[in-house]
Structure 1
Amino acid sequence: MNAYQVNTYRQIALPTHWEMLAVSPGSCETPEQAAAYEAERWLTAPVPGTVAQALQIHQRWDISVPLNADEQDWWYRCTFTSPIGEVGSRFVLKFDGLASISDIWLNGESILHSENMFLAYEVDVTSLLRPRGEENTLYIRFNSLKALLAKKHPRPRWRTQLTDHQHLRWFRTTLLGRMPGWSPPVQTVGPWRGVTLEERVTLTVERCDVRASLKGNAGLVTAELQARSLVGTRPNRAALHVGAEIFPLSIQHIGADSFTLHGEAQLDEVELWWPHTHGKQSLYPASIELGYEEETVRVDCGRLAFRSIKLLSEHGEFAIHVNGEPIFCRGACWTPLNIVTLTASRQDYEQTLSMARKASMNMLRVGGTMVYEDEAFYKLCDELGILVWQDFMFANMDYPFTDPTFLANVQTECEQILQRLQGHACLAIICGNSEIEQQIAMLGFSEEMWQSDFFEQQLPALCRSYVDTAYWPSSPSGGALPFQANVGNSHYQGVGAYMRPLEDARQSGTRFASECLTFANIPEDQTIDLVLRPGESPTNHPKWKARVPRDHATGWDFDDIRDYYLQQLFRVDPMRLRYTDIQRYLALSRVVSGEVMAYVFAEWRRQSSPSQGGLIWFYRDLWPGAGWGVVDALGHPKAAYYYLQRVLRPKTCFFSDEGVSGLYLHLVNEQAEPINARLELALYRLPGTQVEETLSIEVSIPPRVGKELHVDALLGRFLDLTYAYRFGPPVHDIVVAILSERETGQVLGESFYFPHGLPNVQEQSIGLQAQAALQVDGSYLLQIHTEQFAQAVAINASGYLPEENYFHLYPGGTKSVRLTPQGNKSTLWGSLTTLNSQHSVNIQVIFD
């Protein structure tokens, strides 16, 4: 899977629907034996595709009652016609991903044995193709992983807690589907990425390295290309194109048919690439052109970006600087969009990544338990300004790097992914592994065992030869223990799985959480309906519990974690509430994880906080249910998504309770221009009485910085806003801050502070109203007004996606929310609910 494209390469489509056959392990050793099976045992199968995908098409498999695809051998076959090629051209079969241990035959000849689902292979088959116009047969056998795991292997030095199969460390395949409690039991088997035939004319490019960097205000590009001539001719000129500029490259011929190109280019006053929260995403198209007597060969090198990315990790810190500016990195850990195929269309990637950008997420982590993502993912992250933390696919196991064959296999894997990613602006951190150091340390082993020569020496050296991005050995790493929160990066679960109080987010001094805030986030009713039938109750039904994530071999799951914070924040008994009022339980449970996430990120974004970032575990669920994702498996945002959307904005405001020191308001501006804003502060007593006249002041926030404002000082007198002194009964229940642009009136941020904790009272009516008007583009503009305080306003509009949701609305407040149609446009119908009202309100549609 090379990142570059050559205009003299011709892609020849193979059949998209192959045939697939299941046999017992080892019972069929050759294509001739496979061909002898009855035709009715062969099933049509898509390629690229997986065994589970093919069985799903034939209604022989369901994710709710899956089979173990690792138990059998699986054969794939297709026939294709030999193409008509140019004189001197070569034909190459390309296999972009084979999961997992496989053997390939073309016309009865063995051409490849693969032991790595993450490797791409190329096989020159020119001499094996039948004469033009005749049929060729291609067979692939995927060997039973279960049978291979049963064979004797050397024992690991320590046992992983992530999976039951200790020997998985020997096999280069994804852990998805093989981690009990973490992911659906869907094992990836089959040609999960493309199989293509390619004709190559004139030359074969063997390596192409094009790197962009900054030199002061100028952009520097270095280029090197290694190639082999196919028809005996040599290029007589070569040039590098960057944007509209052209730079000559030198040619060095090596032997009769090989040559290299190399050179540098300098562009003055380039436009910088920034994460979208901090600036624009300037990209420059790049290519290399080779001139021959009768043709020009063009190698497309993608689009380059000029930016500097540095990791500051001295003295225990962990901070990412882009173009010299510190970046508060926030986002989530990425998961494949389709657990059955592990692939997706560019449109699916674009929709999903655009939603992450709308939530002001500027970093996504591709973790070591997943797969290296498709090229479309990285290109879109470049375009959308989303940084990528990229793990190599090593996690939680004692990998046998001392075995020469295994080591050579993974070195090739790492070289391929580095070659593919080297030109991407989005690549911010490249990390050796996930939780290997943590796993060893938590098992009680000494520090000498935490680290290995592969992750500490060999892999970083390999990275330096391909990319300029910072390397980090393991996630987490740093400190007296590798998971120490206040040194290096951590997988912070103090607030979360360890059920620490919210104050732990500050007490732990977290520097950078590459995993954090793990909850079983409850989706909307439309997604619950995909799991449960009418009459089946959420939370306690076996089908529900089967999809609630849990750590392997523990006596609790992440429903229990959410319930702990439900009790802490809303002062209810979760078990009794489920028993007496399941709908109330679901309503509170949907928002509680969002409230927790918003609190923690507000804490970490304070000016005096040592934190430089946090990544939620996960961004999107792997299957419908109460998964770790803040977006469900269908792409619908959960309540937590909207809470994050507000607190992560590059221009916003939020409160922090400093106890007897008072209430502080933090103003944030990550953009390059100053903000001239208006700040309004108001105090209310529930359900809707204003107790102080609204304070309105003008504020200016410089670029790239924030401000801390003491709210008592702004109001001009002591009001015990945090209710810390308690000299008398409280005079207010809510403090509201609204930050808006002075000229346009656009609201940049709103923050609500509850000195006595989150309200948990339901009124008969709060005077909520909702009217929607159809817009020219097919969306609806929803106007919401409330007479009293409205808590966590939830918009229910089937077939429409609200741009905002689960927000508080102050007494007398109004808000406009755009509802965008999802799929076919239809007449809007829906309702609004709030946590503090006993009744829902229907949306009134206004027609002209």
Structure 2
Amino acid sequence: MAKEILDLTGQWRFKKYPVSARRMRDLEEGDWLNCIVPSSIYVDLAEAGVIERKKLESNPEDFFQISLEPWIYKKQFDLSEDFLKNDKIELVFDGLDTFSQIWLNGKLLGRTDNMFCSYRFDITEIVRGRCNELLVKFDSASQEGERLMNRYGMLSKDKCSLPQRAYVRKAQCQFGWDWAPVLPGCGIWKGVRLEGFKVGCISDVHITTVDCDKSSADVKIFVQIEKFSHRPMVCSLSVSDATGKIAAKAVLQYSARHKQASAVVKIAKPQLWQPRGYGSQPLYKLAAELHIGDELVDSVSQSFGIRTVKLNQVPDEYGQNFGFEVNGQAIYIKGADWIPASLFIGEARADEYERLLTSAAEANINMLRVWGGGIYETKDFYNLCDRLGILVWQDFMFACAYYPDRVWFFESVKKEAAQNIVRLRNHPSLVLWCGNNEIDWQHSIGQVAKSKKFYGRSIYHKILPQLVHELDPSRDYIPSTPLGVGKNTNEPTAGTVHQWEVWSGFKPIDDYLSQVPRFVAEFGFQSLPCKKTIHNLIGDKHIAGFSLEKHNYQPNGTGRLQYYINEIFRPPANIDEFVYLSQVVQGRAVRKNVEHLRANCDINSGVMFWQFNDCCPSMSWSCIDYGGRKKALYYYARRFYAPV
């Protein structure tokens, strides 16, 4: 009677959608290509040999047309007689990028318009035993965004990205950024499966540390179920520690009408989860089993850590604090800002996350900020952060633009936010929710668009805080970063700052020493990728003709880099010298600020440099380049973040 799952990832087929198609049989015209889901249209085309990956990476501007075309994916599958006997069968997409239509056996199931949402469809009456055909058609996100922008108005004047991105709920950096080209793409970027239920299932588990110390911990366990029967149900709970020893048990009762229940269990001598550098990261495991009588209906296993977290914003003699406390202990943050591991969302696999996050831990990094122009990360990312003790500051996915003040947009945002809060809230590494990246600040200084009205303000100051309070009250929420008080949202005596006077403002590197902000959430310095990464990108024959400007997406970014190099060294004579000197200057600049801030840790509570990783080949602020090679900054970071 337990829930059954049929994984539909893996082998699919795809092709360009024939614009002349009027009926299902018209789709058979033309050749279908093989692909592996989850993925991205660009990766699928490269793997199928239609485009060359090296040309895509070295000349991305030549491949934008792919993002303007419709594409269709197909999966055929059979079901066993036992699977068909389930009372309810659902088709589940964990992530579709972005505007899609889904058909099963010729019937339209629905449409999607938000990359960050999962979608469920009841297919009990549609699915059959043999020759099921699942189709997913994607329309151009760029064109759909442009249609909406033409109707409702432009909300962004960012020179590095397409302005229609504000209307499209997908990774904003795919529309271009100052470290990425314009390649929006599409695809089935997360898992796909069928779920079969009899009688009911466990739909949600929420685990919260109510209180803890070395002697005992009170842990609240909330379990929500779905029922297709009026019979009462029982959910047995068993908590085991990292060694497998049972630490607590409880039983939840569900009457014929109730679908929610909770219990607080007491765990003696708990092993507390601590951030990296402050202790170990033991993980407990909850096993929940839902029964009707003696029959197992569903079971869920959920890892969690026992810890409390608080954001200290109490006024003090220096202004207003902004510091993280875990288990009652103040934590000095040594962090970096994280962007998607690949511009082709869905491409990065578990081993890539393992490599990057292990490198972060080895560099003594204890916090990563998941930046708001990318994605809510995958389960592999958060599971690794739990295991490695890397704290996560989680932005909601809004960055550097106004967003629509429209009811339909708000409803999509509510669904997106609620789903991701629920999905991520059991991770002990997650310590803060942040409404957006730089929008409040840019609005206050008139840099978003030609408007005095703050479009989208209610998202960050009303909708999101209400959802966090309702669904994840154990964590703090801030509306934006930088975060200040009053009209000056980037003021050093309170909240967070983004320090871009050095680099973007051409101020000398020593200018970092002129202030001690309470918390630095962003600052950084560009450099070239490593020499071998450049060689792999364009080949040894063309290295002399490598275009710095072409792969630097920030306006005058190369000019800034040359300016700062020339302030310290003689001008580089060739590309190899440029690589070396750019990385040394980057490392020295970031080190100067971090060491200055750490020396003033009575005032400053933490610092995160921009940025940890790359998502594509480019000149950027990263410490690890797109080829996975560590720049000089990485080795500087390992030293300037070392324990003292």
How high is the TM-score relative to the length of structure 2? 0.90
Q: Does 1:18 align with 2:12?
A: yes
Q: Which moved more, 1:629-638 or 1:209-218?
A: 209-218
- 1:408 corresponds in structure 2 to 411
Residue of structure 2 aligned with 1:184, choices 181, 186, 208: 181
- Describe how 1:164-243 pairs up with structure 2 within 5 A: 165-217=162-214, 218-230=216-228, 233-236=231-234, 238-243=236-241
Which amino acid letter does the alignment assign opposite residue 377 of structure 1? F
**Which ranges of 4 or more aligned residues in structure 1 deviate by more than 6 Å?**
444-448
1:245 equivalenced with 2:244 (yes/no): no
State yes or no: 1:51 paired with 2:48: no
Counterpart mapping for 1:347-386 below 5 A: 347-386=351-390
Q: 1:15–1:450: structure 2 CA closer, same or farther, 3 Å change rule? A: closer
**CA 1:584–1:14 in structure 2 vs 1: closer, same or farther (change >3 Å)?**
closer
**3-state secondary structure, aligned to 2:534:** helix
**Structure 1: runs of 5 or more not aligned:** 1-6, 651-667, 669-848
Residue of structure 2 equivalent to 1:393: 397
- Deviation of 1:386 after TM superposition, in Å, equals 0.1
Letter in 1 for 2:70: D
TM-superposed CA distance for 1:125, in Å, is 0.8
Number of the residue aligned with 1:266: 266
Contiguous gaps of at least 5 residues in structure 2: none
Deviation digits for residues 335-356 of structure 1 (CA, Å, limit 9, x no counterpart): 2223224342222211211110
Q: Matches of 2:94 and 2:87 in 1, distance apart?
A: 22
1:8 to 2, 5, 19: 2
Amino acid in structure 2 at the alignment position of 1:462: L
**1:593 aligned to which of 586, 590, 593:** 586
Please list, as runs of the form range in 1=range in 2, the aligned pairs for 1:511-522 lying within 5 A after superposition.
511-519=518-526, 521-522=527-528
Q: Label 1:583 to 1:205 Cα distance change in 2 as closer, same or farther (>3 A).
A: closer
d(CA) in 2 for partners of 1:233, 1:451: 46
What is the count of residue pairs matched by the alignment? 622
1-side partners of 2:424 and 2:9: how far apart? 29
Q: Give the CA deviation at 1:286.
A: 1.4
Q: What amino acid is aligned across from residue 104 of structure 1 in structure 2?
A: I
CA contact (8 A) 2:530 2:579 kept: no
Q: How does 1:304-703 map to 2 (within 5 A)?
A: 304-315=304-315, 316-400=320-404, 402-443=405-446, 449=454, 452-467=457-472, 468-479=474-485, 480-519=487-526, 521-534=527-540, 536-537=542-543, 541-542=546-547, 544-550=548-554, 554=555, 556-557=556-557, 559-570=558-569, 572=570, 574=571, 577-578=572-573, 583-607=576-600, 610-650=603-643, 668=644
Do 1:318 and 1:612's aligned partners in 2 also have CA atoms closer than 8 Å? yes
For the residues of structure 1 that align with 2:587 and 2:114, how far apart are their CA atoms?
A: 39
The question of whether the paired residues in 1 share the 8 Å contact of 2:155 and 2:166 is answered with: no
Render the CA deviation track for 1:490-534: whole Å, top value 9, x for unaligned: 221233322322332231322222221131x23332212113333
SS at match of 1:264: strand
Q: How far 1:358 sits from its partner (Å)?
A: 0.4
Q: Alignment partner of 1:370: what SS?
A: coil
Secondary structure in 1 aligned to 2:289? strand
Matches within 5 A, 1:105-184: 105-130=103-128, 132=129, 134-151=130-147, 153=149, 154-156=151-153, 158-161=155-158, 165-184=162-181
- Answer with 376-385 or 220-229: which moved more: 220-229
* In structure 2, C-alpha distance between the alignment counterparts of 1:54 and 1:451, rounded to whole Å: 35
How many percent identity over aligned positions?
A: 26
Q: Contact 1:272–1:305 (CA<8 Å) still a contact in 2?
A: yes
- Alignment check: 8 A CA contact 1:201 1:230 kept: yes
For residues 29-57 of structure 1, the C-alpha deviation after alignment (integer angstroms, 9 at most, x for no partner) is 6534423x23x2x2222221221111101
1:322 deviates by 1.6
Q: Distance in 1 between matches of 2:154 and 2:483?
A: 20
Deviation at 1:231, TM superposition (A): 5.7
- Amino acid in the other structure paired with 1:173: K
Quote the Cα distance in structure 2 between the aligned partners of 1:337 and 1:203. 37
- Taking the aligned partners of 2:595 and 2:217, their CA distance within structure 1 comes to 36
SS in 2 for 1:592: helix
Q: Which amino acid aligns with 1:385?
A: G
Q: Deviations over 1:67-113 (max 9, x none)?
A: 22331111111211133225444221110111111110111111121
Q: Using the alignment, how far apart are the partners of 2:9 and 2:155 within structure 1?
A: 46
Deviations 1:550-590 (A, max 9, x none): 1xxx3x11x333333323334x3x2xx43xx6544443332
> What is the alpha-carbon distance in structure 1 between the residues aligned to residue 314 and residue 24 of structure 2?
58
Q: Structure 1 residue aligned with 2:67, among 63, 66, 70?
A: 70
CA distance in 2, matches of 1:430, 1:20: 37
Q: CA deviation at 1:305?
A: 1.4
Q: Distance in 1 between matches of 2:567 and 2:160?
A: 33
Other structure's SS at 2:259 match: strand
Q: Secondary structure at the match of 1:63?
A: helix
Please state which structure has a larger fraction of its residues in helix.
Answer: 2
Higher relative contact order (CA 8 A, sep 6+): 2
Q: Report the CA distance shift for 1:164/1:616 in structure 2 as closer, same or farther (over 3 A).
A: closer
Contact 1:254 1:260 in 2 (8 A): no
**CA deviation after TM superposition for structure 1 residue 643, in Å:** 0.7
Letter in 2 for 1:547: H
State the partner residue of 1:754.
none
Secondary structure of residue in 2 paired with 1:20: strand
Taking the aligned partners of 2:455 and 2:495, their CA distance within structure 1 comes to: 15
TM-score (norm 1): 0.69
In structure 2, the partner of 1:807 is none
Shift of 1:537: 4.7
Q: Is the 8 A contact 2:160 2:553 kept in 1?
A: no
Bigger CA radius of gyration: 1
Q: Secondary structure at the match of 1:380?
A: helix
Using the TM superposition, name which of 285-294 and 594-603 deviates more.
285-294
User: Secondary structure in 1 aligned to 2:423?
Assistant: helix
Do structure 1's residue 34 and structure 2's residue 27 form an aligned pair?
A: yes
The 3 A distance-change label for structure 1 pair 404 and 219 is same
Equivalent-residue separation in structure 1 for 2:148 and 2:552 (angstroms):
34
Asked if the contact 1:88–1:231 (Cα under 8 Å) also holds between the matched residues in 2, the reply is no
How far apart are 1:282 and its partner, in Å?
2.0
What's the secondary structure of 2:552's corresponding residue?
A: coil
Indicate if the aligned counterparts of 1:330 and 1:362 stay in contact, CA closer than 8 A.
yes
Aligned AA for 1:502? I
- By how many angstroms is 1:302 displaced? 1.8
* CA 1:70–1:143: 2 relative to 1, 3 Å: same
Structure 1 pair 408–349 and aligned structure 2 pair: CA distance change class (3 A): same
CA contact (8 A) 2:141 2:184 kept: no
Q: 1:83 — aligned with what?
A: 80
Tell me by how many angstroms 1:246 deviates.
3.1
Tell me if the contact between 2:198 and 2:297 (Cα under 8 Å) persists in the aligned partners: no
For 1:101 and 1:163, how far apart are their aligned partners in 2?
Answer: 23
Is contact 2:531–2:579 with CA below 8 Å preserved after alignment? no
- Does the 8 A contact of 1:431 with 1:474 survive in 2? yes
Superposed CA deviations along residues 146-198 of structure 1, whole A, max 9, x for unmatched, are 33234254445853416554332222111122125431333230111122122
